[in-house]
């Protein structure tokens, strides 16, 4: 190589190094001063879209309450619609992780959608926060250091209901739920704690062509002579079930005990249709609109002012997801690159949760209280849920012992 060629090569090498250094510095400045990007996967179409809309409204309210910033960073939320299908949920999650390069992925109503999507997020080293779904797989042997829940493990809420049934002297129970991951967890939960006899069980079709006609199952339940009827039917299936339950005249014959069926999304519709069979019905949950703490008072007040109705537990969990992320950024001064510090901060749950104080178990599911709630009319005559008593204090899910974290 001639002297001139060697000089040219050296000059080019220095130039390339300078460009690379400048690009790296620009990237680092972007990470320090840029936005925090949150992908939020939920259902925004199909009849189940009313749940996703409630979650979206709560996320937007949380961002508003934070003034649009976390630790000085602008908050950018990218909402994606899973269409109530695991394959679409995975596609949308892939987009958020690989194209949008979000820092956190949150949301997920449905267990089967979350299970289909979780590997994409976790394999990429991102944080995954479930705002609703709590499948046993992610609570037990399949737990992951970068997975967190702001809701519950699926079995816990029906376990609390099983305890309610025991205290009320229910000796026999008919059980109904949809045949998918969460439905199976719900049934397993109530069976784990209920001390009486399960006299009948129907696991009905779910998914795109889910079953909405329950007349045959209700007739079987009535004929069974059971002391109570336990159900889990979220979304539009819950509305269809309650309507048929009332039409069958079962309120005084077969008392209804439900989880994730009667909530602040469905109650205005039940009230408008004069479905009084739901009044006085019992459910269990870690949260209710009348839970007495400052953060919850503000959340419920501002949500009602914006949307003209009570928020649901889906909304409360989604709001908490944003506040959990904010707590991590506050603790790390907005450093998105220190994953260990962010994880350690989230493990502290150091924020004003709408449920009050809670802590995380080794599998990153909340250890929290569960309450008995009853459907009542508030001072203005609007139907809502109100806390009656505490069923569990600081309850940890059953599968945590299987998690190696």
Q: Is 15 exposed, middle or buried (0-12, 13-18, 19+ CB in 10 A)?
A: exposed
Could you give the C-alpha distances from 198 to 47, 182, 226, in angstroms and in order?
31, 19, 8
373 within 8 A of 388, measured Cβ to Cβ: yes
Confidence (pLDDT) at 77: 98
User: 161 and 235 share a domain?
Assistant: yes
Tokens of 223: 């004929």
**Domain residue limits at 87:** 34-152+290-367
- The SS3 of residue 101 is coil
The total number of structural domains that make up the chain: 2
Tokens of 240: 């269809």
Residue 379 lies in a domain: no
Residue 318 lies in a domain: yes
User: 133 and 179 share a domain?
Assistant: no
Q: How far apart are CA 331 and CA 346, in angstroms?
A: 9
Residue 232 lies in a domain: yes
Q: How far apart are CA 307 and CA 310, in angstroms?
A: 8
User: 244 and 298 share a domain?
Assistant: no
How far, in whole angstroms, is CA 139 from its chain's centroid?
Answer: 14
Residue 25 lies in a domain: no
Confidence (pLDDT) at 42: 98
Tokens of 327: 């707590």
For residue 11, what are the contacts with CB-CB under 8 A and spacing of at least 6? none
Question: Pick from 264, 285, 306: which residue ends a domain?
Answer: 285
Confidence (pLDDT) at 19: 41
Question: Whose CA is closest to 356, among 400, 402, 305, 320?
Answer: 320
Going residue by residue through the chain, which has 405 residues, state the pLDDT in tens, using 9 for 90 and above. 554 555 444 445 444 444 443 333 333 333 435 999 999 999 999 988 999 999 999 999 999 999 999 999 999 999 999 999 999 999 999 999 999 999 999 999 999 999 999 999 999 999 999 999 999 999 999 999 999 999 999 999 999 999 999 999 999 999 999 999 889 999 999 999 999 999 999 999 998 789 999 999 999 999 999 999 999 998 888 889 988 998 999 988 999 898 988 889 999 999 998 888 788 888 899 999 999 999 999 999 999 999 999 999 999 999 999 999 999 999 999 999 999 999 999 999 999 999 999 999 999 999 999 999 999 999 999 999 999 999 999 999 999 999 999
Residue 28 lies in a domain: no
Confidence (pLDDT) at 6: 52
User: 310 and 268 share a domain?
Assistant: no
CA atoms within 13 A on the CB side of 405: 23
Confidence (pLDDT) at 1: 52
User: 104 and 58 share a domain?
Assistant: yes
Q: Which residue has the tokens 């996703």?
A: 52
User: 132 and 182 share a domain?
Assistant: no
User: 132 and 243 share a domain?
Assistant: no
Spell out where 43-72 has E strands: 69-70
For residue 376, what are the contacts with CB-CB under 8 A and spacing of at least 6? 279, 280, 383, 384, 385, 386
User: 129 and 43 share a domain?
Assistant: yes
pTM for the whole thing? Answer: 0.87
219 within 8 A of 185, measured Cβ to Cβ: no
Question: Pick from 285, 303, 332: which residue ends a domain?
Answer: 285
User: 194 and 131 share a domain?
Assistant: no
Question: Pick from 285, 301, 328: which residue ends a domain?
Answer: 285
Residue 372 lies in a domain: no
User: 140 and 184 share a domain?
Assistant: no
CATH of residue 250: 3.40.50.2300
Residue 39 lies in a domain: yes
Q: How far apart are CA 262 and CA 282, in angstroms?
A: 9
Q: Which residue pairs from 140-146 have beta carbons closer than 8 angstroms and sit at least 24 positions apart in sequence?
A: 140/363, 140/399, 140/400, 140/402, 140/403, 141/402, 141/403, 141/404, 143/362, 143/363, 143/364, 143/402, 143/403, 143/404, 143/405, 144/118, 144/405, 145/343, 145/364, 145/405, 146/121, 146/122, 146/339, 146/343
User: 108 and 163 share a domain?
Assistant: no
User: 279 and 297 share a domain?
Assistant: no
Question: Whose CA is closest to 55, among 130, 142, 141?
Answer: 130
Backbone angles phi, psi at 350, to 5 degrees: -90, 70
Residue 374 lies in a domain: no
């Amino acid at each position: 190589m001639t002297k001139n060629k060697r000089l040219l090569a050296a000059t080019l090498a220095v130039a390339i190094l300078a460009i690379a250094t400048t690009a790296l510095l620009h990237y680092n400045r972007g990470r320090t001063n840029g936005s925090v990007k949150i992908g939020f996967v939920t259902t925004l179409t199909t009849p189940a879209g009313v749940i996703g809309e409630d979650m979206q409204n709560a996320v937007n309210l949380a961002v508003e309450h934070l003034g649009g910033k976390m630790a000085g960073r602008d908050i950018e939320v990218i909402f994606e619609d899973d269409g109530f299908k695991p394959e679409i949920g995975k596609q949308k999650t892939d987009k958020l992780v690989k194209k949008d390069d979000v820092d956190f992925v949150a949301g997920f109503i449905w267990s089967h959608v979350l299970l289909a999507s979780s590997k994409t997020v976790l394999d990429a080293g991102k944080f995954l926060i479930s705002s609703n779904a709590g499948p046993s797989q992610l609570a037990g042997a399949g737990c992951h250091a970068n997975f967190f829940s702001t809701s519950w493990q699926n079995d816990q809420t029906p376990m609390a209901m099983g305890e309610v049934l025991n205290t009320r002297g229910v000796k026999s129970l008919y059980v109904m739920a949809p045949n998918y991951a969460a439905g199976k967890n719900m049934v397993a939960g109530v069976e784990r704690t209920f001390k009486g006899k399960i006299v009948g069980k129907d696991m009905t079709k779910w998914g795109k062509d889910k079953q909405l006609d329950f007349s045959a199952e209700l007739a079987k339940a009535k004929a069974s002579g059971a002391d109570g009827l336990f159900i889990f039917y979220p979304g539009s299936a819950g509305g269809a079930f309650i309507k048929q339950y009332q039409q069958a005249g079962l309120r005084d014959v077969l008392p209804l005990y439900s989880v994730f069926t009667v909530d602040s999304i469905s109650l205005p519709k039940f009230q408008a249709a004069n479905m009084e069979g739901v009044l006085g019905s019992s459910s269990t949950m870690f949260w209710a609109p009348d839970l007495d703490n400052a953060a919850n008072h503000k959340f419920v007040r501002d949500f009602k002012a914006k949307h003209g109705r009570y928020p649901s537990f889906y909304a409360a969990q989604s709001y908490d997801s944003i506040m959990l992320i904010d707590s991590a950024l506050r603790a790390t001064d907005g450093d998105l690159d220190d994953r260990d510090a962010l994880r350690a901060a989230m493990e502290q749950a150091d924020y004003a949760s709408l449920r009050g104080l809670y802590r995380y178990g080794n599998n990153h599911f909340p250890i929290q209280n569960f309450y008995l709630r009853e459907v009542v009319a508030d001072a203005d005559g609007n139907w809502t849920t109100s806390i009656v008593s505490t069923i569990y204090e600081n309850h940890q899910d059953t599968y945590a012992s299987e998690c190696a974290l």
